[in-house]
Amino acid sequence: MLLPPPTPIQGGWRPEEVEGNTTLGQTRSRMETVWTQQGSREEWSYRRALLRWGLISTLLLSLILIFSVLLFYTFHSCGPRPCKSPVCLELVASYLTMGNASALPCTDFYSFVCGNLTWASESRDMLQVLKEKNQNQLRRILEASVPWPPDSAEEKTVRFYKACMDTDAIDASGAEPLMQVIEELGGWHISGNRTLPDFNHTLKLLMSQYGNFPFFKAYLRPQPSPPHVPVIQIDQPEFQIPFRPVQKNYPEILRAYLSYLQQLGTLLGGDQKVVLEHASISMTITSNLLLASKSPDQRKREGKLFQETTIAQLQEVAPSIDWLPCLRAIFSPMILSPSQPIIVHDLEYIRGMSNVIGQMPKDGYRDYLQSHMILGLVSTLVPALDSHFQNAQRNLSQKLQELAGQSPITFNIPRWKKCIEETGAFFEPTLGAMFVQKTFSHGSRDAATQLFSEIKNALSRHLKRIRWMDEGSKREVQTKLSQLKVEMGAPAEVLKPGATTQDYEDISFGPSFLQTFLSCSRALRERTVRGFLEPPSRRSWKISPWEVNAYYSMSDNVAVFPAGLLQPPFFCSDYPSAVNFGAAGSVMAHELMHIFNQYCGHTYQDFPILTTVVPGGCPACDIPTLYEEQLCLRQHYESFSLPAGSTFNSSHTLLENAADIGALLIAMKAYRKWQQKHKGETILPRLGLSPYQLFYQSYAQVVCGSPNPQHAQDLHSPPILRVHGPLSITPTFARYFNCPRGTPMNPGRRCQLW
């Protein structure tokens, strides 16, 4: 389209005007040509401008659209993504099954997380569930059709398990293998075939060759004080009757046990009258030994633990025992002399035990002592004997539970579980390595190690905020943290190929399972003694790699986390980090908090009710503030109501409660620090929980358990208190779950121990 001619304006150009001699027509013609040319150029220019602006506009719109899409996905990906891997979906199902969605988190978080912890009408805790899962994994490993190299450690481990499972062969052997053992010990009156060796000779054989300690227990353990070198320790035996004369229904208990001993003697072919006579005297010996003994708590109160003496001095105190020959036989190849230092846990019991032996009637006393020792040996060998012996022991156990007024326990333990227990006892390093190789990859180990590093660093950073500790004590803890050793999964030495093959060279597989069992028992004792005589080995764990309990050793400054614990549902490298920090991370932090036990265990005269048995203390610390916070904790835990049948002692559980609270605090600090450094956090679908809420859900999951009466030796509070106690004292929990102030999980006052 041509541009229109300019409109004439006043004082401007007019058509009737001429330029020079040009006529009006010529002028008009020339101007039309100019207009036409000028219009064509401007029109083309305009079109190009429109085209250019159109292209630019289109490009801008495209860029805006692309940017919007990218911005959408960018913001969308910044939020937590749901983890939909199989292990995460399995964990979601577990959480939904266990939890009670109708419970209010701010009122009863334990019920919210653990309210439906019941399967098949049997209440169990989560650690027990994981333990059973690990046992099933061990069973699959031992029953797998794997062609292990002949005489390798793995082949012997599997062969022992299969021999244990061959109940047909064990029953076919009957009592004959056991009769051979009795003959090796000199026979006994009940069998009618005896040579009656010297009492101390039989005792020495029993302890050194069969691992049976009828009168006292002897073992190697590190000294309780530095430098913690191994030392022989003498203690009371494991009594066959686990009840004392003051026990309710004690006469009925004695009758039940007497009936059991009669069954054993009859199964070995003895005459009923002779068996009854010898079993009755054996019961008298046991009762007299029990009268001379004291409970561990009583000995501790009286200061009779860890009494240092020598073998020669022990011989004077208890002359009925030939101590030097016996101890030489037990602890071969140790070189012992009469001046050898040893530790006795109760010299009064050892003196009383010697008197019981020395006061036996002279007429036939050797027969009676021999019968007492052999009947005790038979009881310890029952796991390797035929079903008749096992049924007799099972019936006794059930009867003793009834007489003690305890809840009935099912004793029909599957044979495979018993065999796994025996296999683990004799072949622990190899079975542990097999378990780790199957369930705990290098990636899992690295992830767990990194998680622990985050926890340790968080504790190191938090130290300066502990207001009751003095600067010197804080530096001591920092040094402990910097020098701390950590073991993940299993000792590194047992994971090396062929590392344990030489440990089993002395094991022989006999024609009967009992002979194999005894050969393994002797090899284990010799291996244990050699292990104490050699330089300290990282193989020496207090727990097996498939167990579900972690621990911190104050004397060794080492934290141990077995592979059996670092399994789903507590840990998995594919889980959201909130789960791993809340579950496994809190367990790691809990063990580290025990570093503070020696500082929290100081006695303060104004608070005698809070005194603990932990040695050490922190004299330079702010003791009034420390005990004010400990008193606060005690009152805080006592403010919660417990389910019927649950009991606890707040002073007894004080250190563990403090460790729970500190662990939760440190694990959350570590998780928040991790979030600042990493992106791409995930959550569990279907739960509707944010990452921080998921952290606390996972923490509670670890300690979910049945509200059963607390065991006398358990230093932990009941599960419901292990959830409500720490969480209700944690401000961030109330913030992330929007708990109004004054609700049970957001009380008005909070203790500030840490």
Say how far apart CA 189 and CA 274 lie, in whole Å: 8
Q: How far is CA 647 from CA 266, 365, 644, in A?
A: 44, 48, 9
Q: Are strands 341-344 and 230-235 parallel, antiparallel or unpaired?
A: parallel
pLDDT given for residue 5 in this prediction = 42
- Per the annotation, the verdict on 252 as an active-site residue is no
Which has more confidence, 240 or 313?
313
**Averaged over 582-601, what is the pLDDT?**
90
Q: Where does the pLDDT of residue 303 fall: very low under 50, low under 70, confident under 90, or very high at 90 and above?
A: confident
20 burial level (CB within 10 Å; 0-12, 13-18, 19+):
exposed
| Alpha-carbon separation of residue 185 from 202, 329, 382 (angstroms) | 6, 15, 18
- CATH code (residue 464): 3.40.390.10
Q: Is residue 57 part of a domain?
A: yes
Same domain, 570 and 689: yes
364, HSE (Cβ side, Cα atoms, 13 Å)? 11
For 584, which DSSP code?
I
Check which CATH number belongs to the domain holding 206 and give it.
1.10.1380.10
Pair 200, 227 in one domain: yes
Boundary-marking domain end, from 57, 78, 99: 78
Give dist(CA 431, CA 157) in Å, integer. Answer: 7
Query: Could you tell me if 584 and 445 are in contact, meaning their C-beta atoms sit under 8 angstroms apart?
Result: no
Do 669 and 715 lie in a common domain?
yes
29 assigned to some structural domain: yes
Active site residue 171: no
Q: Both 565 and 700 in a single domain? A: yes
Neighbours of 617 (CB within 10 A): 17
DSSP 308: E
The answer to whether 574 and 643 have CB atoms below 8 angstroms apart is: no
Domain boundary among 51, 78, 105: 78
For residue 530, what pLDDT band results from cuts at 50, 70 and 90? Answer: confident
Integer angstrom CA distances of residue 280 from 257, 352, 367, 415, 536? 10, 20, 13, 32, 46
What mean pLDDT comes out for the span 499-516? 87
Q: Which one of 277, 547, 591, 681 is the catalytic residue?
A: 591
600 contacts 588 by C-beta, under 8 angstroms: no
Distance CA(184)–CA(193), nearest Å, equals 11
Nearest partner of 514 among 378, 666, 713, 376, judged by Cα: 378
Q: What 3 state SS string does 123-146 have?
A: ECCHHHHHHHHHHHHHHHHHHCCC
Checking if the pLDDT of 611 tops 90, the result is no
Instruction: Clarify whether residues 255 and 222 are in a common domain.
Output: yes
The DSSP element (H or E) to which 342 belongs, if any, is: strand 341-344
Tally of structural domains, the chain: 3
Give pTM, 2 decimals. 0.81
Give the CA count within 13 Å in the CB-facing half-sphere of 569. Answer: 26
Domain for residue 650, yes or no?
A: yes
Q: Indicate the SS3 state at residue 559.
A: strand
pLDDT level of residue 14 (50, 70, 90 thresholds): very low
Q: Residue 298 is part of which domain span?
A: 175-384
Please give the average per-residue pLDDT across 540-548, as a whole number: 89
Provide the token pair at 752.
Answer: 């500030």
Helix axes 365-380, 199-209, angle to 10 degrees: 10
Who's near 410: CB < 8 A, 6+ residues apart? none
Whether residues 335 and 448 fall in one domain: no
Q: What is the DSSP letter of 385?
A: S
Q: What pLDDT does 7 receive?
A: 39
Residue 233's SS3 state is strand
Same domain for 194 and 118, yes or no, is no
- Residue 536 located in a structural domain: no
Pairing of strands 217-222, 187-188: unpaired
The pLDDT of residue 34: 43
Give φ, ψ of 606 to 5 degrees. -75, -15
Report pLDDT for 248: 76
**Cα–Cα distance measured from residue 20 to residue 11, given in angstroms and rounded to the nearest whole number:** 19
Is 356 a domain residue?
yes
Residue 73 sits at the vertex; the CA angle it makes with 68 and 78, to the nearest 5 degrees, is 125
Q: Is 542 left (phi over 0), alpha (psi -120 to 50) or beta?
A: alpha
When pLDDT is cut at 50, 70 and 90, the band that residue 651 belongs to is: confident
Residues 318-353 pLDDT 10s: 999 999 999 999 998 889 999 999 999 999 999 999
In 402-451, beta strands by DSSP E: none
Residues 344 and 242 in one domain: yes
Catalytic position from the list 108, 346, 454, 660: 660
Token digits for 143? Answer: 């029953």
Residues 279 and 352 in one domain: yes
Tokens of 24: 């009006």
In this structure, the number of other CB atoms found within 10 A of the CB of residue 166 comes to: 13
Residue 246 in domain: yes
606-628 mean pLDDT: 63
